[in-house]
C-alpha cells in the first residue's frame, strides 16, 4: 500500500510522496568536508587578486570613501568624489567598518573583502537551515518502506540541506559575484535569509517574522526596490495562499513589515533631508530598473540566466512536476513562491542584469535538492559523469593555457593568449603552482573516491559538481591570476600617473589639483584605490587628465581646446594594445597653455 499520512494543513489526504529513499541514502556528509569546500570556495578569489575594473573596484572605492571620509559618505555613498546613487549603502557600511577593524592587519583592499565572507556565511547558513527545517517536515518525507528502513526526518532534512548547499556551490553564475566588493553578495545573503525566515515561521512565527524583517530591510538597504520586491511579492502570495503560514500572518504584519520599513526609512529620511540631490538620483535609478522587458533585455536574459540556473534550474522544474501533488505543502510552496516572484521581477525589469537573477538562486537550489530523492540511480550517475567530463576538461584547459603562457607550447594557444595579454611577462610562482597541483590531485581523488567507494548518500549526485567548480576556480585563481590581473587591473596606469604627478610636484614645488575630462567612474575609482589619486570634475585646476581613445585625444591636442598644452604623462593599460587604435583606451595628463600663448 502506498504510504499516506495526514497533512497538518490539508483536510484531504496527500497523494503518495514521489521521494524514494532508504536510511543509507541519508548518510551524513562529513561536516569537515562540507566546511572545507565552502571555505575554499569563498576564500579563493579574495586573496592575491587585484581590484578589477567595473563594479568590483567601484564598490571598493565606495567603502574607502566612507572609511576615509565622514557621515556624508555613509548616508550617500560616493566613489572618489563622485556620487554613486545606485543600489544602496549597506555594502559600503559593512566594508568601511571592516576596513576600520582589519586594515592595519590586512591592508585596505583585503579588509574590504572581509564582508564577502560575512555575506557568503549568511547565504550558505540560511540556505542550509531553511532546507533542513523544510526537509524534516512530515509532508516532505520519503515513502515509508514496507519493512522499515526509511530515513529519520532529521536525517532526511540534513541530507536535503547538504544537497541544497552543494547545489549553491555548483551554480556558476554566482561564482564571481560572490567574490565581488559590491552590493550583489549582500543581496544574495538577504534572499537566503528571507527563505530561512519563511521556513522558520512554520514552527516559530515570532522569531521567523523577526528575521524576515531583517531580510526585508537588509535587501532594501543593499540594493533598493529591485532586491526587496521579489521578497515582498513572495510573502504576499504565501500569506494569502499558504494554510501552514496562516498563523504567522499577523506576526508578518506586526513585526516583519514594520521592522523592514523602520530599517529602510531610518536611512531614507536622513539621506533625503541631508542629500536631496543624491536621493533624487537614487529614485531615478530605481525607476529606471522597472518597466516592460525590452527585446534587448529578453535577449540578455536568455543568454545570461542559464549561468544562474545550472544545474539547479532543470532540477527545480523536475521537482515541481514530481511534487505537483504537494504544491500547497510548505517544502514546495515556499521555494516555488520565491522562484516565481523572482521570475516576475525579471518580467518587470527593462533590461535585467546579473543582480536580478540572484533572486532565483536560493529557491532553485532548494527545489533542486527536492528533486534528488525522486531521481533514478542511473540519472544521478549520468549527472556525475557529466560533472566529471566538464570539469576535468576545464581543468585540462586551464593547465594547458598556463603551460602555453610559461613555455610557448602549444604555439597556437600561446599566440592566442599573447594577443589577449600583449606585453605580459609571466613569472613562475612556486606557491601558485603547488596550490594548483594540490587542487588537481584533490579533484582526481574525489573522482576516484566517488566511483570506487560508491557512497550511498544522496548528496553524491551534487558533490562532484560542487567539487569540480571549486577545483577549477582554484586553478584559475592560481595559474591564470597574474594574467587576469594584468588584463583587468589599472594598477600600472595608476602608478605611472602617480609618479608623473610626484615629479611635477617636485618641479614646481607645490601640490596642484587635477581636473578630469571624460574620466569613467571605474577608472576614477581605480586611481583612488591604488594610489589615492583624486580628480576634480570641474574647476580651475592647473592640470588636466583626459581619457578617451588615442586618435580622438591626439586631435584634441592638435586642434582642440588643449592645443599647445604640455604633456606631462600619457599611458594606457598594456592589455589595450590588443584593440584597434581607434578603440584603444588612453590617458593623457597635461598642463594646458595659458590663454594667448603656448605652454613652455
Classify the phi-psi angles of 82: left when phi > 0, otherwise alpha if psi is within -120 to 50, otherwise beta: beta
Do 482 and 567 have their domain in common? Answer: no
User: What distance in Å separates the CA atoms of residue 302 and residue 297, rounded to the nearest whole number?
Assistant: 9
Is the residue at 96 inside a domain?
Answer: no
SS3 588: strand
Q: How far is CA 270 from CA 265, 482, 516, in A?
A: 8, 44, 31
Examine the domain organization and report whether 421 and 475 are in the same domain.
Answer: yes
C-alpha cell at 89: 549603502
Domain boundary among 488, 515, 549: 488
Domain end marker among 488, 517, 543 = 488
pLDDT for the residue numbered 117 = 97
Residues 173 and 304 in one domain: yes
Own/partner long-range contacts of 416-423 (Cβ < 8 Å, ≥24 apart)? 417/483, 419/578, 420/487, 420/575, 420/578, 421/483, 421/486, 421/487, 421/574, 421/575, 421/578, 422/574, 422/575, 422/577, 422/578, 423/574, 423/577
CA 42 → CA 38, 117, 180, 222, 267, distances in Å? 6, 7, 11, 20, 30
Residue 36 lies in a domain: no
Q: Do residue 224 and residue 296 come from a single domain? A: yes
Q: Which three cell numbers stand for residue 260?
A: 523592514
Peptide bond into 361 cis (omega under 30): no
Output the pLDDT for position 597.
Answer: 46
Q: Are residues 290 and 157 in the same domain?
A: yes
* Domain-embedded: residue 11: no
**162: part of which helix (H) or strand (E)?**
helix 153-169
Let me know if residue 48 belongs to a domain: no
**What SS3 state is found at 591?**
strand
Residue 1 lies in a domain: no
Indicate whether 198 and 220 sit together in one domain. Answer: yes
Same domain, 342 and 458: no
- Could you tell me whether strands 585-591 and 543-549 are parallel, antiparallel, or unpaired per DSSP bridges? antiparallel
Q: pLDDT per position in the chain (600 positions), as tens?
A: 344 334 444 434 678 889 888 888 788 888 999 999 999 999 999 988 999 888 899 999 999 999 988 777 899 999 988 889 889 999 999 999 999 999 999 999 999 999 999 999 999 999 999 999 999 999 999 988 776 778 899 999 999 999 999 999 999 999 999 999 999 999 999 999 999 999 999 999 999 999 999 999 999 999 999 999 999 999 999 999 999 999 999 999 999 999 999 999 999 999 999 999 999 999 999 999 999 999 999 999 999 999 999 999 999 999 999 999 999 999 999 999 999 999 999 999 999 999 999 999 999 999 999 999 998 888 888 888 899 999 999 999 999 999 999 998 888 988 888 888 887 888 899 999 999 999 999 999 999 988 887 777 778 778 999 999 999 999 999 999 999 988 888 999 999 999 999 999 999 888 889 998 888 899 999 999 999 898 887 678 899 998 888 777 777 777 767 877 888 998 888 777 776 666 778 899 998 877 544 443
Q: Could you tell me the residue range of the domain that residue 221 belongs to?
A: 126-142+150-371
Residues 340 and 256 in one domain: yes
Say how far apart CA 67 and CA 93 lie, in whole Å: 9
- The pLDDT of residue 8: 44
Tell whether 23 is covered by a domain.
no
Please, what sign has the CA dihedral across residues 157, 219, 74, 498? positive
**Predicted local distance difference test score (pLDDT) of residue 581:** 67
Q: Does residue 544 sit in helix, strand or coil?
A: strand
- 167 in Cβ contact with 466 (< 8 Å): yes
pTM of the model: 0.93
382 vs 394: CA distance, rounded Å: 18
The Cα–Cα gap between 436 and 469 comes to 14
Q: What is the 3-state secondary structure (H, E, C) of 251-265?
A: HHHHHHHHHHHHHHH
Tell me: do 447 and 499 sit in the same domain. no
**Are residues 255 and 290 part of one domain?**
yes
49's grid cell: 587578486
Q: Could you write out the three-class secondary structure of 253-315?
A: HHHHHHHHHHHHHHHHHHHHHHCHHHHHHHHHHHHHHECCCCHHHHHHHHHHHHHHCCCHHHH
Q: Is residue 46 part of a domain?
A: no
Please tell me the number of Cα atoms within 13 Å of 271 on its side-chain side.
22
Question: Are 58 and 182 within 8 A, CB to CB?
Answer: yes
Cell of 302: 536568455
Residue 8 falls inside a structural domain: no
C-alpha cell at 530: 591604488
> Into how many domains does the chain fold?
3
- For helices 460-479 and 31-43, angle between their N-to-C axes, nearest 10 degrees: 30
The count of C-alpha atoms lying within 13 angstroms of the C-alpha of 330, restricted to the half-sphere facing its C-beta, is: 29
- Taking the C-alpha atoms of residue 584 and residue 476, their distance in angstroms, rounded to an integer, is 27
Spatial contact of 48 and 481, defined as CB atoms under 8 Å apart: yes
Neighbours of 167 (CB within 10 A): 29
Domain limit, last residue, from 308, 341, 371: 371
- Are residues 274 and 360 both part of a single domain? yes
Q: What pLDDT does residue 580 have? A: 67
CA end-to-end distance (rounded Å), the chain: 98
Do 317 and 416 belong to one domain? no
Amino acid at each position: 500500500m502506498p504510504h499516506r499520512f495526514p497533512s497538518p494543513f490539508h483536510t484531504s489526504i496527500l497523494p503518495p510522496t514521489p521521494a524514494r529513499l532508504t536510511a543509507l541514502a541519508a548518510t551524513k556528509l562529513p561536516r569537515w568536508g562540507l566546511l572545507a569546500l565552502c571555505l575554499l570556495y569563498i576564500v579563493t578569489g579574495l586573496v592575491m587578486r587585484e581590484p578589477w575594473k567595473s563594479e568590483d573596484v567601484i564598490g571598493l572605492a565606495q567603502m574607502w570613501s566612507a572609511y576615509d571620509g565622514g557621515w556624508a559618505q555613509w548616508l550617500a555613498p560616493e566613489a572618489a568624489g563622485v556620487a554613486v546613487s545606485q543600489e544602496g549603502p549597506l555594502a559600503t557600511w559593512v566594508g568601511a567598518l571592516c576596513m576600520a577593524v582589519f586594515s592595519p592587519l590586512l591592508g585596505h583592499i583585503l579588509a574590504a573583502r572581509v564582508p564577502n565572507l560575512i555575506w557568503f556565511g549568511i547565504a550558505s547558513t540560511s540556505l542550509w537551515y531553511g532546507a533542513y527545517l523544510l526537509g524534516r517536515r512530515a509532508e516532505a518525507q520519503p515513502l515509508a518502506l514496507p519493512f522499515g528502513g526509511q530515513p529519520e526526518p532529521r536525517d532526511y532534512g540534513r541530507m536535503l540541506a547538504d544537497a541544497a548547499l552543494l547545489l549553491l556551490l555548483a551554480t556558476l553564475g554566482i561564482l564571481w559575484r560572490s567574490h565581488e566588493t559590491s552590493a550583489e553578495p549582500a543581496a544574495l545573503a538577504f534572499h537566503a535569509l528571507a527563505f530561512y525566515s519563511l521556513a522558520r515561521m512554520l514552527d516559530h512565527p515570532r522569531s521567523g517574522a523577526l528575521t524576515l524583517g531583517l531580510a526585508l530591510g537588509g535587501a532594501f538597504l543593499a540594493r533598493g526596490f529591485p532586491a526587496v520586491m521579489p521578497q515582498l511579492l513572495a510573502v504576499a502570495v504565501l500569506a494569502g495562499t499558504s494554510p501552514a503560514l496562516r498563523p504567522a500572518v499577523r506576526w508578518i504584519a506586526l513585526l516583519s513589515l514594520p521592522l523592514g520599513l523602520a530599517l529602510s526609512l531610518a536611512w531614507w529620511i536622513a539621506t533625503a533631508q541631508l542629500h536631496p540631490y543624491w536621493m533624487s538620483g537614487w529614485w531615478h535609478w530605481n525607476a529606471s530598473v522597472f518597466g516592460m522587458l525590452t527585446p534587448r533585455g529578453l535577449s540578455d536574459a536568455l543568454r545570461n540566466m542559464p549561468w544562474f540556473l545550472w544545474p539547479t534550474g532543470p532540477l527545480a522544474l523536475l521537482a515541481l512536476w514530481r511534487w505537483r501533488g504537494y504544491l500547497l505543502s510548505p517544502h514546495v510552496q515556499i521555494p516555488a513562491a520565491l522562484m516565481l516572484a523572482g521570475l516576475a521581477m525579471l518580467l518587470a525589469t527593462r533590461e535585467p542584469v546579473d543582480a536580478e537573477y540572484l533572486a532565483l538562486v536560493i529557491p532553485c537550489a532548494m527545489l533542486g535538492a527536492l528533486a534528488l530523492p525522486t531521481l533514478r540511480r542511473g540519472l544521478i550517475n549520468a549527472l556525475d559523469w557529466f560533472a566529471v567530463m566538464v570539469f576535468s576538461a576545464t581543468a585540462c584547459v586551464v593547465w594547458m593555457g598556463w603551460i602555453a603562457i610559461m613555455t610557448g607550447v602549444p604555439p597556437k594557444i600561446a599566440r592566442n593568449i599573447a594577443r589577449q595579454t600583449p606585453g605580459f611577462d609571466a613569472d613562475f610562482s612556486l606557491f601558485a603552482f603547488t596550490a594548483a597541483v594540490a587542487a588537481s590531485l584533490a579533484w582526481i581523488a574525489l573522482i576516484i573516491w566517488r566511483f570506487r567507494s560508491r557512497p550511498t548518500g544522496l548528496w553524491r549526485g551534487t558533490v562532484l559538481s560542487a567539487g569540480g567548480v571549486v577545483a577549477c576556480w582554484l586553478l584559475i585563481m592560481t595559474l591564470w591570476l597574474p594574467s587576469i590581473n594584468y588584463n583587468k587591473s589599472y594598477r600600472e596606469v595608476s602608478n605611472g600617473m602617480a609618479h608623473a604627478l610626484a615629479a611635477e610636484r617636485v618641479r614646481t614645488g607645490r601640490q596642484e589639483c587635477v581636473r578630469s575630462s571624460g574620466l569613467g567612474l571605474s577608472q576614477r575609482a581605480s586611481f583612488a584605490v591604488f594610489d589615492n589619486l583624486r580628480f576634480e570634475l570641474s574647476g580651475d585646476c592647473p592640470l588636466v587628465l583626459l581619457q578617451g581613445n588615442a586618435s580622438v585625444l591626439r586631435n584634441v591636442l592638435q586642434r582642440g581646446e588643449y592645443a599647445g598644452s604640455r604633456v606631462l604623462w600619457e599611458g594606457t593599460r598594456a592589455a589595450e594594445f590588443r584593440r584597434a587604435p581607434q578603440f584603444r583606451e588612453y590617458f593623457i595628463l597635461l598642463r594646458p597653455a595659458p590663454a594667448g600663448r603656448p605652454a613652455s
